[in-house]
Structures are given as C-alpha cells and as structure tokens.
C-alpha cells in the first residue's frame, strides 16, 4: 500500500514538473520573441563592445596623438623628431584609447620601406585603425611631393578641371589610389568637392576642380570612381563648401555668407553628385554659415548643417568626418572637450585630429555616462564605421 502511494505521488510530482517545464519553455519563448534576435555581425559586435571601444572607433588622428610627450601646432612644425614608427608611449596609451583610425602627414613619411612598415604596424594597434592620408594630387600630396618617392605628380585639380574631360579626373585618382593602396592605406581624404568661387580664397584655390559646379561635379564623381577601382575609399570635402570664403579655418574663423538656396545652386551641385554616386565619407568644413544656421557656430558643430541639411534634405546616410579638430577655427573658440561633445551631438561620426586625444575621448565617454549623449547615438556612428570596415575587409570584431 505504501509503495502504491509513493508511486502515485512520484507520478503526480513528475507531472507537475513537466507542466512547469512547459510553462517555463513557453514563457521564455515569449520573452525571446519580444527582443529581436541579433543575427547581423555588426550588431553583434556593437552589443559586445565596451563604451570605450565604441567611442574609440570615432577617433582618428595623427600618430602623435598617441604620444603625450609630443606636442605640435597646426603648421605641423614639430618640436621633436617626427614619429616614423610605433614607439612604447604610443602602445601604452593605445591600451586604454583604442582609436578607429590614424592619419599620416608628410613628416611621418620618409621612404617607401619605412612607410610600408609603419602602416603595417599601425594596423595592428588596439582598435584595428583604418590608415588614412591626404593625397589629393597637386600641392596637397604627402607622398608624391616627398623627394624620396618617384611617383607621378599633378599640377592641380584646377588644371584637370580646365581640360573639361572628367576621365582625366578618373585617371588622376586611379593613379594616386593605386600607389596609396600599394603602401597599405585604406582611406584617402580626397577629392576636394568645393567650388572655388571666391578669388580671395587662400585655402582652397586650385585644389578645387573649377569655379563652375557643372564642371566640378562630374570631375568629383569620376575621381571617386578612380579611387574605388584602385581599392581606396575616397572622401568629398569640405561640406557645406569652403570655396566661397576668404579666411583659412586652419588658423581661425571663416564664414560663407550664402543662403541655403544660393548653396543649392552652387556648392550642393557637387555634393549632391557625390552623394548620388555613393560616397562613403563626407568631411565637414569648420566654416560658419550664418545665413543658413542663424549663428556663427562652425558647420562641424551645427545640427542644422549636418542633420537638417546633409542628412535630412540631401539624404546622406554614410559617414560624416570632421575636418581636423585641432584647427584654429575650433581651438580658438572651444576647448577640446567641449568641441568633441558638440560635434557628436551635431552628427559627426569621426572626430579627426583632436588636439588632445585624452581630453576629447574622456569628454565623450563622460557625456554618455552622464546621459548628455545617449549610447544609441554612439552606436549610430559605430554602426556606420564598422559597416565601412566590413566592406573593405578590415572588420575584426
């Protein structure tokens, strides 16, 4: 009798457990269904990254930014020997500051063997940085203008524009892209998409293809295609247009007095063409556009310029990269920390060339931790950056 009772009790107990298990199973399924399954590699990477890793992806700069013993000015006149290879100071700082990109300047380049070795070393840094350069052709050519390199040289983009043949822009970019790719670079911050309408312009000038947007636009898109066919990512600059200014943002305040309608009929012709072509990167200008924004704030820090106009009206969905944040138009009016936070709030994805990596980096991290910037806002930028890295085979998360 006792055995029968125990047997019936055991059966009842196991039945209860079974039902509870089913209930638990269905309950878990409901919870799982309420949260989208993460199947995309990029989304999974973002979920697994720490806040510092995410913020790090948004910082690109000189090798010197990773060595706090080195100080420089915008004229690039270093007070010590230039960095030509990774050193211990860089490795130590990089451990806690996993940057997303490094840009090399003329003083970081000595000869072919050194350049290839340096680029290879840089790619192995924490953050898996993309390696960038300004190699436009003409006077802004960090490699070709080095006497230790035997490479094709171009007089200017203005001279190419004057030929009236966009294929010449393609040929120029494809040639530059081929040797830049050969040295291991990922991104070339070119071409200049500005329309050089102001004869008094001291910073753009012959770097632009033309003073006529209808001439410049096909030059810009053919240049981008030349890079793409060489395996290099291009970047059109400087939004919303640095061609109708008198002053140089490297050294201080500059502005365009045009209205948005006036920009639409001139500067935006080339930028629209680049966007329609599919440019992966657009670089901002630090110029103010008071008749567009109603203020003297630099475009790099303006939600009106970057969110309302570039993303909203022009429909641009790829990466926005700030022009160097160490330039006078920024540093004379904003602290490193303030400028970095304002740029992110305005819509910048990549903070290029911070004057102080530590100050700017920590400011963005603190802004997220305090709730001043949402982590989802950071995720938006990281998503775009990782998408590009995956596209060019540099995704390692």
CA 193 to CA 120: how far, in whole Å? 30
Confidence label for 13 from pLDDT (cuts 50, 70 and 90)? very low
CA 385 to CA 349: how far, in whole Å? 8
Confidence label for 201 from pLDDT (cuts 50, 70 and 90)? confident
Task: Give the chain's mean pLDDT.
Answer: 89
Instruction: Give the pLDDT of residue 252.
Output: 77
Task: Report yes or no: 394 and 365 within 8 Å, Cβ to Cβ.
Answer: no
- 183 Cβ neighbours under 8 A, 6+ residues apart: 112, 115, 116, 119, 143
DSSP 310: I
Confidence label for 377 from pLDDT (cuts 50, 70 and 90)? very high
Instruction: Give the pLDDT of residue 74.
Output: 53
Active site residue 323: yes
Instruction: Give the pLDDT of residue 249.
Output: 82
Task: Report yes or no: 319 and 385 within 8 Å, Cβ to Cβ.
Answer: yes
Instruction: Give the pLDDT of residue 78.
Output: 54
Instruction: Give the pLDDT of residue 394.
Output: 92
Task: Report yes or no: 217 and 277 within 8 Å, Cβ to Cβ.
Answer: no
CA 107 to CA 46: how far, in whole Å? 35
More reliable by pLDDT, 108 or 72: 108
Task: Report yes or no: 65 and 88 within 8 Å, Cβ to Cβ.
Answer: no
Instruction: Give the pLDDT of residue 44.
Output: 95
Q: Report pLDDT digits (tens) over 287-335.
A: 999 999 999 999 999 999 999 999 999 999 999 999 999 999 999 999 9
Confidence label for 73 from pLDDT (cuts 50, 70 and 90)? low
More reliable by pLDDT, 199 or 363: 363
Active site residue 286: no
Confidence label for 188 from pLDDT (cuts 50, 70 and 90)? very high
Confidence label for 248 from pLDDT (cuts 50, 70 and 90)? confident
Average pLDDT over residues 106-124: 97
* Nearest partner of 243 among 226, 218, 263, judged by Cα: 263
Which range, of 68-82, 277-291, 337-351, averages the lowest pLDDT? 68-82
Hey, where are the domains in the chain? Answer: 1-35, 41-391
Q: Is the pLDDT of residue 97 over 70?
A: yes
More reliable by pLDDT, 141 or 17: 141
Confidence label for 241 from pLDDT (cuts 50, 70 and 90)? very high
Q: Is the pLDDT of residue 365 over 60?
A: yes
Helix intervals (H) in the chain? 2-33, 41-48, 51-57, 88-94, 112-123, 157-161, 166-182, 213-230, 260-264, 267-277, 290-293, 303, 328-331, 336-346, 357-370, 375-391
Which residues are 352's β-sheet partners? 60
Q: Report pLDDT digits (tens) over 252-296.
A: 778 899 999 999 999 999 999 999 999 999 999 999 999 999 999
Confidence label for 79 from pLDDT (cuts 50, 70 and 90)? low
| CATH T-level assignment (fold) for domain 41-391 | TIM Barrel (3.20.20)
Q: Is the pLDDT of residue 36 over 90?
A: no
CA 202 to CA 287: how far, in whole Å? 14
CA 254 to CA 202: how far, in whole Å? 11
Number of CB atoms found within 10 A of residue 162's CB: 15
DSSP 80: S
Of 67, 134, 248, 323, catalytic: 323
Please give the radius of gyration of the chain, using alpha carbons only, rounded to the nearest integer: 25
DSSP string across 103-136: EE-GGG---HHHHHHHHHHHHTSTT--EEEE-EE
Which range, of 25-39, 194-208, 258-272, averages the lowest pLDDT? 25-39
Instruction: Give the pLDDT of residue 22.
Output: 35
- What is the dihedral angle through the alpha carbons of 213, 192, 383, 250, rounded to the nearest 10 degrees? -120
CA 204 to CA 202: how far, in whole Å? 6
- 261 Cβ neighbours under 8 A, 6+ residues apart: none
Instruction: Give the pLDDT of residue 29.
Output: 37
Which range, of 15-19, 76-80, 164-168, 199-203, averages the lowest pLDDT? 15-19
Most confidently predicted of 4-8, 88-92, 242-246, 251-255: 88-92
Of 110, 165, 212, 250, catalytic: 250
Q: Report pLDDT digits (tens) over 137-154.
A: 999 999 999 999 999 999
Which range, of 159-168, 236-245, 310-319, averages the lowest pLDDT? 236-245
């Amino acid at each position: 009798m006792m055995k029968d009772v125990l047997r019936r009790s055991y059966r009842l107990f196991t039945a209860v457990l079974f039902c509870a298990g089913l209930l638990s199973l269905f309950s878990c399924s409901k919870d799982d269904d309420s949260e989208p399954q993460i199947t995309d590699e990029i989304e999974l990477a973002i979920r697994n990254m720490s806040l510092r890793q995410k913020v790090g992806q948004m910082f690109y700069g000189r090798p010197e930014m990773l060595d706090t013993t080195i100080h420089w000015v915008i004229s690039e006149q270093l007070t010590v020997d230039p960095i030509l290879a990774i050193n211990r100071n860089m490795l130590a700082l990089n451990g806690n500051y996993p940057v997303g990109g490094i840009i090399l300047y003329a003083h970081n380049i000595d000869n072919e063997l050194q350049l290839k070795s340096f680029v290879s070393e840089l790619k192995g840094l924490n953050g898996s940085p993309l390696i960038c350069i300004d190699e436009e052709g003409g006077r802004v050519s960090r490699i070709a203008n080095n006497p230790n390199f035997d490479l094709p040289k171009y007089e200017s983009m203005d001279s190419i524009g004057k030929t009236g043949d966009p294929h010449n822009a393609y040929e120029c970019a494809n040639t530059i892209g081929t040797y830049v790719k050969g040295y291991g670079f990922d991104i070339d911050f070119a071409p200049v998409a500005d329309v050089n309408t102001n004869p008094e312009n001291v910073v753009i000038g012959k770097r632009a293809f033309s003073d006529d947007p209808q001439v410049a636009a096909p030059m810009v898109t053919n240049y981008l295609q030349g890079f793409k066919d060489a395996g290099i990512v291009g970047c059109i600059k400087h939004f919303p247009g640095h061609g109708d200014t008198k002053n140089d943002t490297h050294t201080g305040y500059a502005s365009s007095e045009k209205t948005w309608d006036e920009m639409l009929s001139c500067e935006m012709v080339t930028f629209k063409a680049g966007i329609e072509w599919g440019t992966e990167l657009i670089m901002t200008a630090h110029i103010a556009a008071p008749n567009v924004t109603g203020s003297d704030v630099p475009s790099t820090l303006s939600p009106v310029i970057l969110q309302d106009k570039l993303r909203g009206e022009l429909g641009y969905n790829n990466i926005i990269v700030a022009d160097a944040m160490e330039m006078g138009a920024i540093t004379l009016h904003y602290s490193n920390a303030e400028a970095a936070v304002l740029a992110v709030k305005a819509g910048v994805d990549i903070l290029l060339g911070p004057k102080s990596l530590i100050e700017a980096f920590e400011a963005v991290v603190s802004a997220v931790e305090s709730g001043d910037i949402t982590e989802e806002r950071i995720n938006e930028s990281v998503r775009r950056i990782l998408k590009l890295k995956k596209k060019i085979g540099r995704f390692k998360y």
